[in-house]
């Protein structure tokens, strides 16, 4: 492992837990390959996760499989919230985002005449910074945050991610656009109805709802006409 800062260790531990949450139980060699770790680094980091009770090893007939524990799922949720708040982007999360989603959003943003920043932080009134997949700006001022929720993690993890977005919405007071896959539409609409507390937020279903019109509706016609 060439990365040595504490921030990077947090990212790698989160990646290990995320892989197990999506693909576990899996063998050690497969887990090392997916996490891009050498044997020495893997042994050290997996020992940390084992000692904390976040992962477990199940061996049968000489074959050992690694899996995440319920405590590990909860810890993974907290890591995701920390990464959002601190602006720490996981490599696994970056690879999981589909390029064509970014392309479609950027095209819509440009069509409305706004500037944009990818993987950008927005600071709220409390001084807390929130990481978003894309932020629309005009005259160096943030006017809208975009988040793409395409992970296949546990419902607990999705609840924390959506909760972090709602916290950002309340704190920053800028509109938030949430793009989700059709398979999770009902889940996110149900969660949105529970968490909504005055935030100007719209859930868009990928490849069904028009992104440009949703952006226009959130930003407001008056601001769009100024561009």
Per-residue pLDDT reduced to its tens digit, 133-190: 889 998 888 999 998 887 555 566 677 777 788 888 889 999 999 998 888 888 888 8
Q: Which residues, at least 6 apart from 82, have a Cβ–Cβ distance to it below 8 Å?
A: 10, 88
**How far apart (Å, rounded) are the C-alpha atoms in residues 217 and 102?**
19
pLDDT band at 64 (very low <50, low <70, confident <90, very high): confident
Does residue 193 surpass a pLDDT of 70? yes
pLDDT band at 4 (very low <50, low <70, confident <90, very high): very low
Question: Which strands sit side by side in the sheet containing 115-123, from one edge to the other?
Answer: 115-123, 129-138, 141-148, 176-180, 201-205
Tokens encoding 152: 């296949």
* Among candidate residues 27, 28, 38, the one with its CA nearest the CA of residue 2: 38
Confidence at residue 70, expressed as pLDDT on a 0 to 100 scale: 84
pLDDT band at 55 (very low <50, low <70, confident <90, very high): very high
Does residue 56 surpass a pLDDT of 90? yes
**Phi, psi dihedral angles at 70 (to 5 degrees):** -65, -35
What domains appear along the chain, each with residue ranges and CATH number? 6-76 (1.10.10.10), 97-225 (3.40.1350)
* Among candidate residues 163, 195, 21, the one with its CA nearest the CA of residue 85: 163
Confidence at residue 207, expressed as pLDDT on a 0 to 100 scale: 85
Does residue 51 surpass a pLDDT of 80? yes
Cis amide linkage into residue 16, ω under 30° from 0: no
**pLDDT tens digits for range 69-92:** 888 887 887 776 666 555 555 544
Across the chain, mean pLDDT equals 79
Confidence at residue 3, expressed as pLDDT on a 0 to 100 scale: 40
CA-to-CA separations, 154 to 75, 146, 158, in angstroms, rounded: 12, 22, 6
How many residues are there in the chain?
227
CA-to-CA separations, 47 to 43, 50, 55, 79, in angstroms, rounded: 6, 5, 9, 18
pLDDT band at 94 (very low <50, low <70, confident <90, very high): very low
**How far apart (Å, rounded) are the C-alpha atoms in residues 209 and 216?**
13
**pLDDT tens digits for range 117-131:** 887 788 899 988 887
């Amino acid at each position: 492992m060439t990365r040595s800062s504490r921030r990077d260790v947090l990212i790698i531990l989160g990646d290990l837990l995320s892989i197990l949450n999506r693909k576990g139980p899996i063998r050690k060699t497969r887990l090392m390959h997916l996490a891009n770790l050498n044997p020495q680094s893997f042994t050290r980091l997996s020992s940390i996760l084992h000692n904390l009770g976040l992962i477990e090893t199940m061996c049968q007939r000489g074959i050992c499989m690694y899996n995440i524990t319920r405590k590990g799922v909860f810890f993974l949720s907290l890591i995701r919230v920390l990464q959002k708040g601190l602006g720490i982007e996981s490599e696994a999360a970056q690879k999981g985002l589909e390029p064509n989603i970014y392309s479609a959003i950027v095209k819509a943003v440009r069509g409305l005449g706004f500037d944009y920043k990818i993987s950008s932080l927005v600071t709220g009134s409390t001084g807390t910074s929130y990481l978003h997949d894309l932020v629309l700006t005009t005259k160096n001022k943030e006017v809208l945050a975009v988040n793409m929720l395409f992970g296949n993690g546990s419902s607990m993890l999705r609840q924390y991610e959506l909760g972090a977005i709602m916290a950002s919405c309340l704190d920053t007071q800028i509109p938030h656009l949430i793009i989700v896959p059709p398979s999770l539409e009902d889940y996110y609409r149900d969660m949105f109805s529970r968490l909504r507390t005055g935030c100007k937020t719209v859930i868009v279903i990928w490849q069904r709802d028009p992104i440009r019109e949703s952006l226009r509706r959130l930003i407001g016609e008056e601001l769009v006409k100024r561009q």
